[in-house]
Amino acid sequence: MPDITALAVFTVATLALLVVPGPAVVYIVTRSVAQGRTAGLVSVLGVHAGSIVHVVAAALGLSAILATSSTAFLIVKYLGAAYLLWLGIRKLMNHANPETTNPTAASHSRLFGEGFVVNVLNPKTAIFFLAFLPHFADPAAGPIAPQIVLLGAIWIILGMASDGTYALLAASIAGRIRRSPTARRRLDIGSGLVYLGLGTTAALTGETHT
């Protein structure tokens, strides 16, 4: 297993990356503001169920395939960008009646499922597992797969803490927004534009990380 120093450096670097908002945080904050604390926390669970996919892929060596295959990396990148763009367009096209004070809430299964897909196709998470995490696995310390699983578990624990904090903070200040149809519509427009920006940025990022 990696030594304590390597784990400490990995933990600090992971926290620094996690606190910078990306597609998953935008999704969580949007859901927390729109539907409250429970919806935000369910979204966090969905997002980090998606993180498990990245951990398993890295442990099985699939990340190495993506890292060395330009075509495979481009497929993942463009799928993620397309999903972000779709989320953005859907937000902008949301024509809810501005007089409606209680719009239909998304079910917990939908919140979880969308969070899962957002993070499975999240370029930020994919690049982390492709380019960053493998450097902390030391062949001299034993088999690589268990080390990847350990590092991935640390990522998930820290990610749930960080994203959960975003969810709780967003929900705590969102009461006025949820009561105001105009404010909700502005939130939809703002989050839609952010999703479009993230999707465009992901699509235009260099073809590979190498």
- Per-residue pLDDT tens for 17-43? 888 788 888 889 888 988 889 999 999
B/e letters for 10-22, b = 16+ CB within 10 Å, e = fewer, are beeebeebbeeeb
Rounded distance between C-alpha atoms, residue 142 and residue 162, angstroms: 30
- Asked, for residue 133, whether it belongs to a domain, the answer is yes
Look at the pTM and tell me if it is higher than 0.85. Answer: no
Closest CA to 207 of 65, 69, 108: 69
Q: How is residue 7 written in tokens?
A: 């784990």
Closest CA to 195 of 36, 76, 82: 82
- Per-residue pLDDT tens for 92-106? 776 554 444 444 578
Q: 3-state DSSP helix/strand/coil percent for the chain, to nearest 5?
A: 80, 0, 20
- Asked, for residue 209, whether it belongs to a domain, the answer is no
Rounded distance between C-alpha atoms, residue 174 and residue 179, angstroms: 9
pLDDT for 104 = 58
- Per-residue pLDDT tens for 62-91? 666 655 666 766 776 677 677 777 777 877
DSSP 101: S
- Asked, for residue 126, whether it belongs to a domain, the answer is yes
Q: Over the Cα atoms of the chain, what is R_g?
A: 18
Q: How far apart are the first and last CA of the chain?
A: 26
How many structural domains is the chain composed of?
Answer: 1
- Asked, for residue 84, whether it belongs to a domain, the answer is yes
- Asked, for residue 160, whether it belongs to a domain, the answer is yes
Q: How is residue 139 written in tokens?
A: 């062949």
pLDDT for 125 = 83
Q: How many residues does the chain have?
A: 210
Rounded distance between C-alpha atoms, residue 178 and residue 157, angstroms: 30
- Per-residue pLDDT tens for 104-151? 578 899 999 999 998 988 877 877 887 777 778 777 777 888 888 999
Domain of residue 96: give its range: 4-204
- Asked, for residue 117, whether it belongs to a domain, the answer is yes
Q: Count of CB atoms within 10 A of residue 7's CB?
A: 15
State how far the alpha carbon of 143 is from the alpha carbons of 7, 67, 72, 173, in Å: 16, 20, 26, 46
